[in-house]
Structures are given as C-alpha cells and as structure tokens.
Amino acid sequence: MKKMLLSLLALVSFSTANAQLPDGVIAPDFTLTDINGTPHNLYNYLAAGKRVYIDVSATWCGPCWNFHNTHALDDLWAQHGPIGQPGVLANSTNDCIVLFIEGDLTTTNADLIAAGPNSQGDWVTGVQHPIIDLQAGTTFDADYNIGYFPTIYMICQDKIITEVGQLSAAALYTAGSTCPVGAANASVDVKATVPYPDPSYMCGTAIAPTFKFVNFSTTPLTSATINVKYNGTTVNTYPWSGNVAGNAVGTVNVPSFAHNNGTGYNGYSWEIVAAGDINATNNTKNLNWKVYSNGNAKTTDYAEPFTNANLPANWTTPNALSTDYIFTFAGGVNGIAQVVGPFGTPSQALLFDLLDITGGPSNPLTAIVSNVNFSGNPYLTFDFDCAHANKSATTNDKCEVIVSTDCGATWTSVWNKSGAALNNDQALYPATAASNIFIPNMASDWSHYSINLNSYKSNQNLLVGIRGTATTANQGSAMFVDNVKISASTPAGLSDQQFNEIVTVYPNPSSQFLNINGLVSNATVQVVDMLGNVIITNEFKNISGDVQLNISKLANGSYFVKIAQEGKFAVKSFVKAD
C-alpha cells in the first residue's frame, strides 16, 4: 500500500514547506556501487569537472516509470556523458554524469528487472547510464532527505545542489548552464551556502550560528569576514581565520552574540567576504531560521485559522523530514475535493503528511506553533481542531501537544491521542483504495481539543508545538490541524470535562500542602474521603494563580478534591502520604 500511496502523492501537487534538500545547500558526498559492481564517488566526479544528475526513484512508482520511459536520462547520458562509456556518443560534451538510484531499501534487484512483486516494468534492459540499487543500511535517503519519488537532483562542480525535476534531456542540460565551471584557477571565489540541516530556530537574547562555504578555487583560503544580517542590516561581524583547501568546504562557528531583531521572527542572512574575491554575487545567503526571544513571545490570546497560503511567520518545522503543508485545493484533483473545515465550510488547514514516513516513530513531524510568555495570566490553554483517520485497524497514528522550556533541547509531551481515540469515530483510511486519501469533507470529521498548560505558564519563553507520529513505519495516514489558539482566559463555553482537564493538583502524593492550578475568580474547594465525607471546605476569593490547601492533618490515604468555580465542576484524586 505504501507504493500505491506514494505514487499517487507524486501525481498530486502539494505546496510543500520543508521537503527534500533545499536548493543551494552542499550536496553530501557518497560512494555507491551500481548493479554491475562499479563504484561511483560524487566528489571525485565533481573534482573531475563533471556536473552530476541523480534520479532517485522506486521500481513500484508510476510517475517514476513514466519519466523513465521518456528516456530523458539516457539521452542526457548519450549526449553529455563521459566519452568512452557505454552508450555515450563520440561527440559528447563530456561534462555530465547521470546516475539512476533505486531509493526504496525494501525492493530488490528482481524488482529492477520486473521479476519481483514491486515493479512497474523492466528498468534495466536498454539503459546505458549507471543503475544503483540502494541496500539496507545506506544513509543516502536520509542524507538527501528523500521525501517522494521521483526526485531529480543536479549537482554542480561547486557541490551545490538543485532539484531540477522531470525535464527533457535538453532542459536538464540547459538547467546546468547556471553552474560555475571549473575551480581551475587561483582567483579567489568563496561561496556562501544555505546551512543544512538548517537549525530552524534559536532562542534567547544571544545566538551562535554555524555556516558553511565552498572555496571554489585552487588556492587555500585562510581568512575572511563573516557578517550576519537582519533585513539587510549587519547585526554581527566576525573575523574568521583557518585553512580551507581549494575546492573544499569550510565551516564557520560564529561566537555567541546578542541579536537585535526586535520582535521579528525571520529575515536573517549571512555573508562571507574574502580579499580579492572575483564574484561577490554568491557571497550572501538567506537563512530559514527564526529567533524566539522574550521580545517576540506571545503574551496575549493568539489564534491561527490558516487563511494564508504559507506557514505563519512564527511557526517553525524543525525536523528535516517534516513535510507539512497549508492544505487546500481550488478544485478536485484525482477525485479529491477541497478541505471542509470544522464549521462545515471550505477551509485551509495544516496537513501533517504521515503517509509513508519511512522511519515510523523515529521520524515524527513537528510544527512549533510559537513561543509564549503567559506568566502574568490566570490560564494558559492550548486549543485546536484535528481531523484524522487511521489507515487500517492495525495502525496507530498519534497526535501530541509538546512544550519545551530549554529552546527545544528537550520536549515534554503534555497531551496525546492515538489510534481509535484520535480517529474521531471516522471510518478507517481505506487501505485498499489509493485514490481515497482521507481528507475531511464535513464538520463532523473534526474534533476539538483543549489542553491545560497552566503548570508551564511561569516560563518566560515557552515553546509550544504539535507533533504527529506514524507509529507504524510506512503506514501512516494524513492528520489535519486547524484553528489553533493560545488563550490566557477561561475558554468560551467551557464544559465540565474541559474544566476538569484544565485544573491540576500537585504534588501528588503530598504530605503537607496540595497546590491547585488553573483557577480564576472565586472558587469553592472541598476534600472528600473515599466514603464521601467532606473533610475540608475552603472558599477562595479573587484568585490569581495557584491556591494551596493545608492537608498536613489528614490521615495517610486516598482522597478526592472537588472544585466548583463559575458553575463548572472538577474532581481530582490525590494521595496523602507523610
């Protein structure tokens, strides 16, 4: 089923925010052996003056098979491949390498020749350019962040990668006209590159970024000036020194410095300046990361209905394999209608594409909603709507709300639902019909969730996020999120169940005092024993923050605390233990 679904997704055009290696990064080096036993090293080819085209496909993938049958790659190989190799014309331009890489680690050589169960046909007969069948244990798919098939990359001599897509042989070759040719002279040409993996975000008043550059010349580079900019204005200058050989990659670890981006989130770029550089146009690169600081933390109610086409400015997707989208269709595609939102009308929503996540639980998709500072408010609640249906009765996708108090070094899951509880009683994702991708088409497909974050509201720069996990590798479904809200006040129309979720008691067990979190205004609190006898009754007026009960005189044992506030009721159990 994975094969069928990923083939369909390759046909449907999504607006992806974070998939595949981004254009402009340094391509990771690799050495891979083709099905004839010949090794292929990327950086050796680049150093020899070639640019390299890579088609990453799967034998079961329909769009991959269609592109294969255009013969674009074999034509590119024949007309521009290395002279003397099989199928290469004598008048070849001799400046390209073409590699076909079968990227599904579960398929076999039998599938390449149509003798296995997962094949669209014979991928080998008549093909002249090298064919590589990835084996279990290779890191290529992870290194190149392969999120869908086919993926066609072009890598220039300066090691910079571009996703060129399914083009004709002529168009693929023309795409390479922008590649710089040869680092065969002593003139200085230093190239800034997009950091990868991009750190996505940093926190606090000081940041310490790491950048990479290419010394695209034959002369070692020993010094340069690094400028970090925000919206074009230099905010930090760092004198770098080292020794980076010609045509090699250098790394710059910028010492920590105080940023001054005010309340903004993104807009950063970096620049490398070297004496005698013959090409200043490639010295600057925009950065994708955001800075979360006390200055831009949300301090009042925040709502995100996803009415724009792009991810909101304060949102971040930190994991490299995250393939999240603002999901909507203007019309039907392959029978798929536009998303219908929680209010029963056409809508846009955030899609956590858990379909075919190859790593299962090891590759959750995370969207950081915002950083917040609600320390002076009575409540901190997190609300959102979610629509989901598991692919089959044996799969068990999970949705979590997560928080971090240390800039994402560690995350705490404060709420989660999975399996049937997350399914909202919807029919299972139809595992036998690839065209029936679950997409909400009525208001009842959605569930609303309200999560109490009161125990974290004292943090000055709390990160809050949503995480989706396909708990079974290659068997995830689609999860939609809409109408995200962060609130400092009692949610409108709060039910007893929601009030019970908001209120927390701690520590539990307790010996002296029991703290109650989540109350505002006036409240009545009672402690009741297991026989229903009321042992303690306290009236609290004008509450702002936690309230505290003295339980030191209670006998050790189990009790209930009953809370009444503004017509809402909550019951919590606790244990008294000296």
pLDDT digits (tens, 9 = 90+) for 45-55: 998 989 999 99
- Mapped to the 3 state alphabet, what secondary structure does 517-558 carry? ECCEEEEEEEEEECCCCEEEEEEEEEEECCEEEECCCCCCEE
Instruction: Please count the CA atoms within 13 angstroms of the CA of 294 that sit on its side-chain side.
Output: 7
- Residue 238 pairs in a beta bridge with 226
Q: What pLDDT shows up at residue 228?
A: 92
**Dist. CA 19–CA 324, nearest whole Å:** 8
Query: What's the pLDDT score for residue 361?
Result: 58
Mean pLDDT for the stretch of residues 74-91: 96
| Whether the predicted pLDDT of 552 surpasses 70 | yes
Q: What is the 3-state secondary structure (H, E, C) of 229-272?
A: EECCEEEEEEEEEEEECCCEEEEEECCCEECCCCCCCCCEEEEE
Contact of 410 with 460, CB cutoff 8 Å: no
Mean pLDDT on 354-362? 58
Per-residue pLDDT tens over the stretch 230-243: 888 898 999 999 99
Residue 225 Rama label (left phi>0; alpha psi -120 to 50; beta): beta
Provide the pLDDT confidence category of residue 7 given band limits of 50, 70 and 90.
Answer: very low
Can you give the pLDDT at residue 9? 36
Q: Is the Cβ–Cβ distance between 470 and 287 less than 8 Å?
A: no
Q: Are 299 and 460 spatial neighbours (Cβ–Cβ below 8 Å)?
A: no
The per-residue pLDDT for 432 is: 42
Q: How confident is the model at residue 264 (pLDDT cuts 50, 70, 90)?
A: confident
Q: What is the mean pLDDT of residues 166-178?
A: 95
Q: Indicate the CATH number of 190-293 among 3.10.129.10, 2.60.40.10, 3.30.70.60, 3.30.200.20.
A: 2.60.40.10
- The domain ranges of the chain are 2-178, 190-293, 297-487, 496-576
Question: What is the Cα–Cα distance from 336 to 254, expressed in whole angstroms?
Answer: 48
Q: Is the pLDDT of residue 94 over 80?
A: yes
Highest average pLDDT, of 199-208, 285-294, 337-346, comes from 285-294
At residue 330, does pLDDT exceed 50?
Answer: no
Percent of the chain with pLDDT over 70: 83
Tell me how many degrees the CA angle 120-126-131 measures, rounded to the nearest 5: 70
Residue 358 has pLDDT above 80, yes or no: no
Q: What is the H or E stretch that residue 206 is in? A: strand 206-207
With a cut of 90, say whether residue 36 has pLDDT above it: yes
Reported confidence tier of residue 11, pLDDT bands at 50, 70, 90 = very low
Going from the C-alpha of 335 to that of each of 65, 332, 396, the distances in angstroms are 22, 6, 26
Give the mean model confidence (pLDDT) for residues 86-106.
95
Q: Can you tell me which residue has the tokens 């995830």?
A: 476
Give the highest mean pLDDT range of 79-93, 142-156, 532-546: 79-93
Q: Is 80 exceeded by the pLDDT of residue 151? A: yes
Q: If you ran DSSP here, which 8-state letter would residue 153 be given?
A: E
Phi and psi at residue 301, to the nearest 5° = -50, 140
* pLDDT computed for residue 333 by the predictor: 38
214 versus 499: the higher-pLDDT residue is 214
Pairing assessment for the beta strands 513-517 and 547-550 based on DSSP bridges = antiparallel
Q: 407 or 430, which is more confident?
A: 407
Give the least confident one: 237-241, 544-548, 574-578. 544-548
Q: Compute the average pLDDT of residues 89-102.
A: 97
Rg, the chain, Cα only: 28
Torsion on CA atoms 489, 493, 498, 503, rounded to nearest 10: 40
- Predicted confidence (pLDDT) at residue 38 exceeds the cutoff of 90: yes
Phi, psi of 346 (to 5 degrees): -55, 140
Rounded Cα–Cα distance for residues 402 and 386 (Å): 15
Q: Which amino acid is at 124?
A: V
Percent of the chain with pLDDT over 90: 40
pLDDT tens-digit map of 447-505:
888 888 888 887 888 999 999 887 765 567 778 899 999 987 655 556 677 677 778 88
Higher pLDDT, 231 or 89: 89
Mean pLDDT for 547-574 is 88
- Determine the pLDDT at residue 334: 39
* CATH 3.30.70.3340 assigned to 496-576: no
Report which of residues 517 and 9 the model is more confident about: 517
Could you give the CA distance from residue 324 to residue 154 in angstroms, rounded to a whole number?
A: 24
Is the model more confident about 477 or about 574? 574
pLDDT of residue 337 exceeding 70, the answer is no
Confidence of residue 288 (pLDDT cuts 50, 70, 90): confident
Q: Reply yes or no on whether the pLDDT at 207 is more than 90.
A: no
CATH class of 297-487: mainly beta
- pTM here is 0.67
Least confident of 79-83, 351-355, 523-527: 351-355
Is the per-residue pLDDT at 65 higher than 90? Answer: yes
- How far apart are the C-alpha atoms of 28 and 147, rounded to whole Å? 16
Q: Which of 24-33, 103-112, 249-258, 345-354 has the lowest mean pLDDT?
A: 345-354
DSSP state of 362: G
* CATH architecture label of 2-178: 3-Layer(aba) Sandwich (3.40)
190-293 shares its CATH topology with 496-576:
yes
Does the pLDDT of residue 8 top 50, yes or no? no
